[in-house]
Chain A
Amino acid sequence: MTAEIRTSDGELLSVKLKKVERRRRTTAFLLAAPLLFFIVFAYVIPIFQMLGRSIDNAEMNSFLTETHEVMQTWDGGEMPGEDVTSTFYYELKTAVENKYHGKIATRLNYEKGGFTSLIKKTSRKLKDFDENANFLDQFIDVHKKWGDIEYWQALKRGTDAYHFRKYLTTFDYEQRFDGSIERIPEKLRINVTLWLRTIFVAVGVTFCCFILAYPISHLLSVLPTRYSNLLMICVLLPFWTSLLVRTSSWMVLLQKQGVLNDTLVSLGFVADESRLELMYNMTGTFIAMTQILLPFMVLPLYSVMKTISPSLMRAATSMGATPFHAFRKIYFPLTYAGISAGSILVFVLAIGYYITPALVGGAKGILISNRIAYHMQQSLDWSLATAMATVLLIAVLVVYWLYNKIVGIDNMRLG
């Protein structure tokens, strides 16, 4: 039996310890609480709400609840019966009275092009309908598209309370009415191209940053403090400038009549009529993003390199290793932590980069983030935008998870 240990004032040691610890924990929590609440309410909850939109179709479902229910018995093989068409007629009539038929038109248009005009025209003519005659015929009379079964199929799909079709669209697939999943026609495919380009740019920019940052970080770590501070300021200077300003500066430098081209022409490297296309394509995106993300590679590399004692390289050479061999076998492996930390930072930032490709990328240099913005702001297909954003978020989390598995997140140091 273990004797009960008590503190000098007679309390049980375990109880007393918990009390003391609780006070400490509460203080720690209170210090973190404002930030925690801010993050939860201004960041985590909105993000999950947005993500929910990628599968949520409840509003549409509420507009046409009964039509949707009646349609459950319709297998879509032939034109729908009067039960479906009449229910749809009454619900659409309510929608017109309450002026939300525009929303229905927009939503259905995401399912199938042509629905906007179809619903609008039908809504205008709805008052002329004879409620005792055949509804389907009258619908077809208003617009011949109602005779195309695909529109009725789209109506059924479009009124589901939730769906995963946007995720298929994200990868240029669509679900046919019979449930089969197929790629969309080739000329409409754009998302996969953008995904691949985004990954290519993110990997490429990470690699360019690594190539440029490694020597400079090494120099920073071995220079005497007064020089390294100056150099560090040069590296960090971009951080103190607005991203928009920096990107705009790149536009000034890279455009056809820009500084870089002018210099090359005046030096005679490039003929005046064949000025380099450095902007509104991938080259521009690459150059500008590499420059902007470079500090994120330099800082972790520098912080790791600074801890490597110069005597290690000396020891290796004293044992007979050539400087290159010593670098490859000793120095380089010791910087793995910095390389991986810098790479994951740059990669994760690059994969979701928006402003720079939007400004200097042109049509050939835009990335998936620009497509998400397009769906948020122009096409207003928020479901698709959020589905893409979710895929992007998952991709980043997977990269992060892999990093944690292979390197361990504790090894990340930023300076």
Chain B
Amino acid sequence: MNSNKSDFVKFEQVDKSYDGKELVVKGLDLDIAEGEFLTLLGPSGSGKTTTLMMLAGFETPTNGEIYFDGRPINNIPPHKRGIGMVFQNYALFPHLSVYENLAFPLKVRKVNKSEIEERINKTLKMVSLTGFENRMPAQLSGGQQQRVAVARALVFDPKLVLMDEPLGALDKNLRESMQYELKHIHESLGVTVVYVTHDQGEALTMSNRIAVFNDGKVQQLSGPNELYETPVNSFVASFIGENNTFTGTVKEIASGSAKIETDSGETIIANPIAVNSSGEKSRISLRPERVSIDPNEQLENKFTSEIREIIYHGDHTRVRVNLLGNDDFILKVPNASSDLKLNVGDKLDLGWSSHDCRALDY
């Protein structure tokens, strides 16, 4: 990623309200770097789509200013912004062929005929749809329509492309292959992409950075691995990936470790992320894959659990156990180690490092 400008797109103190009673987006500050693939991730109603629509120009911010390439764009109508957009249901023009769909943004820009043809050929090749020029959108499969929509958003060389849950309507396999394809297109063109999704797998696969939205605010803005490994609050921890939690009270706190007494009365050594003083309530987050079964190495936390349920998942087996009063503690056991004999009701020794076990806000 060759980022030229770190604030290619800039949201400054942006608020948005539809009904005058509730803020859908609250005091949003967000910088998007040039050439970046940034994903706005969050549950529905978190304000991510509204943020995208404000950037596209279909919604006006109630307060604050949005800058695009250094210019404030609040008062620029969508058709003058020069931002490409891929819509949730593709929004292909049903009465125009693939070629005419792609030619539309170019004709609007008065590009001459031969160049239109050249650009369309190039773009269709990029999305591997050469030969589909004369098809009507209704004659294409969902995946092909998706590619046309992407091609149409890119064909006029916009500096910024917005994508609003573009893969939502595709089946699982197609969605995964399209994720890689979009990632490759982004890498080869170097165009800035702002992508909205509620699918964390999609976000983790494609993005340079992810902004996790909840309740109209960005909860965490960081790279995919950081987001997964080091969530800064309990919302991010629970929203991204699978997560086991305990609640408890901080008893002792020092740099790098804290002793926390869980509600069931045991003490866990945890990594203090969002707790500062003893007596504070905390929610402890622990990824299932960071838990060792029958631990023999030196681990700060070692407990015994009881198996409640075993669910076969193909490549791995999920085991639900009761641990420290938590009946929904999940373990992921890779099926390669199938020599492990698991039965409901068995006792299982578990252990984990204090570093992987993060004490977050309550």
Identify the A interface with B (CB < 8 A). Answer: 309, 311-312, 314-323, 325-326, 329-330, 333-334
Contact with A along B24-65 (1 / 0, CB 8 A): 000000000000000000000000000000001110000000
Given the interface contacts A329-B104, A333-B95, does A319 sit within 8 Å of B152 by beta carbon?
Answer: yes
- Is B267 interfacial (CB 8 A cutoff)? no
**B93 touching A319 by the CB < 8 A rule?**
no
**A317 touching B77 by the CB < 8 A rule?**
yes
The interface residues of chain A, by DSSP majority, are classed as helix
- Interface core residue of B82, B95, B104, B153 (most chain A CB under 10 Å): B104
- Is B273 interfacial (CB 8 A cutoff)? no
Residues of A contacting B218 in the complex (Cβ-Cβ under 8 angstroms): none
- Is B109 interfacial (CB 8 A cutoff)? yes
**A314 touching B78 by the CB < 8 A rule?**
yes
- Shortest A64–chain B CB gap in Å is 65
Which residues B61-97 have CB closer than 8 A to chain A?
77-85, 87-89, 91, 93-95
**B88 touching A311 by the CB < 8 A rule?**
yes
- Is B156 interfacial (CB 8 A cutoff)? yes
**A314 touching B87 by the CB < 8 A rule?**
yes
**B95 touching A318 by the CB < 8 A rule?**
no
- Interface core residue of A316, A319, A322, A334 (most chain B CB under 10 Å): A319
CA distance A323 to B93 in the complex (A): 15
**B104 touching A319 by the CB < 8 A rule?**
yes
Given the interface contacts A318-B56, A320-B82, does A334 sit within 8 Å of B95 by beta carbon?
Answer: yes
- Interface core residue of B91, B95, B156 (most chain A CB under 10 Å): B91
Q: Which residue of B lies closest to A325 (CB)?
A: B108
Given the interface contacts A311-B88, A314-B78, does A321 sit within 8 Å of B108 by beta carbon?
Answer: yes
**A317 touching B79 by the CB < 8 A rule?**
yes
Given the interface contacts A314-B58, A316-B104, does A321 sit within 8 Å of B91 by beta carbon?
Answer: no
Q: Which residue of A lies closest to B105 (CB)?
A: A319
CA distance A309 to B90 in the complex (A): 10
CA distance A312 to B105 in the complex (A): 13
Residues of B contacting A329 in the complex (Cβ-Cβ under 8 angstroms): 104
Residues of A contacting B57 in the complex (Cβ-Cβ under 8 angstroms): 317-318
**A320 touching B105 by the CB < 8 A rule?**
yes
**B91 touching A315 by the CB < 8 A rule?**
yes
Residues of A contacting B95 in the complex (Cβ-Cβ under 8 angstroms): 333-334
- Interface core residue of A318, A325, A330, A333 (most chain B CB under 10 Å): A318
**A319 touching B58 by the CB < 8 A rule?**
no
**A323 touching B91 by the CB < 8 A rule?**
no
Residues of B contacting A322 in the complex (Cβ-Cβ under 8 angstroms): 79
CA distance A69 to B153 in the complex (A): 84
Known A-B contacts: A315-B87, A317-B79, A320-B109. Give 14 more (CB < 8 A).
Answer: A311-B87, A314-B56, A314-B78, A314-B87, A315-B91, A318-B56, A318-B57, A319-B105, A319-B156, A320-B79, A320-B108, A321-B105, A325-B108, A333-B95
Identify the B interface with A (CB < 8 A). Answer: 56-58, 77-85, 87-89, 91, 93-95, 104-105, 108-109, 152-153, 156, 162
Lowest 9 A-B CB distances belong to which pairs? A319-B105, A315-B91, A311-B91, A318-B85, A317-B79, A320-B108, A317-B78, A311-B87, A321-B108
Q: Which residue of A lies closest to B95 (CB)?
A: A333
Given the interface contacts A314-B78, A320-B79, A320-B108, does A330 sit within 8 Å of B93 by beta carbon?
Answer: yes
Given the interface contacts A318-B56, A318-B84, A333-B95, does A323 sit within 8 Å of B79 by beta carbon?
Answer: yes
Q: Which residue of A lies closest to B162 (CB)?
A: A318
Residues of B contacting A316 in the complex (Cβ-Cβ under 8 angstroms): 93, 104
**B88 touching A318 by the CB < 8 A rule?**
no
- Shortest B356–chain A CB gap in Å is 44
CA distance A330 to B80 in the complex (A): 18
Residues of A contacting B82 in the complex (Cβ-Cβ under 8 angstroms): 320
Q: Which residue of B lies closest to A315 (CB)?
A: B91
**Interchain residue pairs with CB less than 8 A apart (26):** A311-B87, A311-B88, A311-B91, A312-B91, A314-B78, A314-B85, A315-B85, A315-B93, A317-B57, A317-B77, A317-B78, A318-B56, A318-B83, A318-B85, A318-B153, A319-B84, A319-B152, A319-B156, A320-B79, A320-B108, A320-B109, A325-B108, A326-B79, A330-B93, A333-B95, A334-B94
CA distance A319 to B78 in the complex (A): 9
- Shortest B14–chain A CB gap in Å is 20
Residues of A contacting B80 in the complex (Cβ-Cβ under 8 angstroms): 320
- Shortest B220–chain A CB gap in Å is 29
- Shortest A153–chain B CB gap in Å is 62
CA distance A322 to B156 in the complex (A): 16
CA distance A325 to B89 in the complex (A): 22
CA distance A321 to B156 in the complex (A): 12
Residues of B contacting A319 in the complex (Cβ-Cβ under 8 angstroms): 79, 84, 104-105, 108, 152-153, 156
CA distance A333 to B156 in the complex (A): 23
**A320 touching B58 by the CB < 8 A rule?**
no
- Shortest B6–chain A CB gap in Å is 25
